[in-house]
Amino acid sequence: MIAADLLVAQNVGFGIISLLMIIGAVRVVTVNNVVHAALWLVIVLSGAAAQYLLLSAEFVAITQVLVYVGAVMVLFLFGTMLTRARIGAESDLNNKNWFLGIPVALLMLGVMSYVIVDGFGSERLIENSGDMQPIPIQVISDDIFGPYLLPFWALSFVLLVAVIGAIVLARKD
């Protein structure tokens, strides 16, 4: 890999977006305010949508924005506001043994990074980055309603059960 390859616009964009995502993710798990954590999570999810665009997956990026940044975030904020009397910093969001999570996460990161770098090295994602074509939605729908129709049915059933379950659980009676 020659150094000039590092400076194509896609790589610069990737670096900036992933830096924002990692900062946002660290803030999500360290900040002492549930509402702030939800807003940091918005940055991570939007950054993920931008990465999907870099990977030429336009439909998934749009779905990510609609479902995660739109629906799931509103659910989180509702859940926060319905379960807590006050909106403000809390001191007891962490377990008393929270520091044990740090070595576990670092160990996992070390093992996974070693395996990834060892397995893929400096292999290109695609021979020529300019060749990446956006995937037409028609192709995705052919895939969903063709070879993956059965999982789609199962998924519809799961969503139905989730809706009924959420209503039954949250109903006041």
Residues in region 45-64 near another protein by CB under 8 A:
45, 48, 51-52, 54-57, 59-60, 63-64
Q: Which positions from 74 through 113 interact with another protein, judged by CB under 8 A? A: 75-76, 78-80, 82-83, 90, 92-96, 98-102, 104-106, 108-109, 112-113
Alpha carbon distances (Å) from 80 to 15, 40, 88: 32, 14, 11
Residue in the structure block whose two tokens are 């969001």: 93
Q: Which of 16, 88, 89, 151 binds another protein (CB under 8 A)?
A: 151
Residues 6 or more apart whose CB falls under 8 angstroms from that of 90 comprise 32, 33, 34
Q: Which positions from 108 through 127 interact with another protein, judged by CB under 8 A? A: 108-109, 112-113, 116-117, 120-126
Going residue by residue from 4 to 43, which x/- string records binding to another protein, judged by CB under 8 A? ----x-xx--x---x--xx--xx-xx----x--xx--x--
CA distance 80 to 19: 27
Instruction: Check binding of 153 to another protein (CB under 8 A).
Output: no
State in Å, rounded, how far the first CA of the chain is from the last one. Answer: 65
Report in angstroms how near the CB of residue 4 gets to another protein at its nearest: 14
CA distance 149 to 11: 36
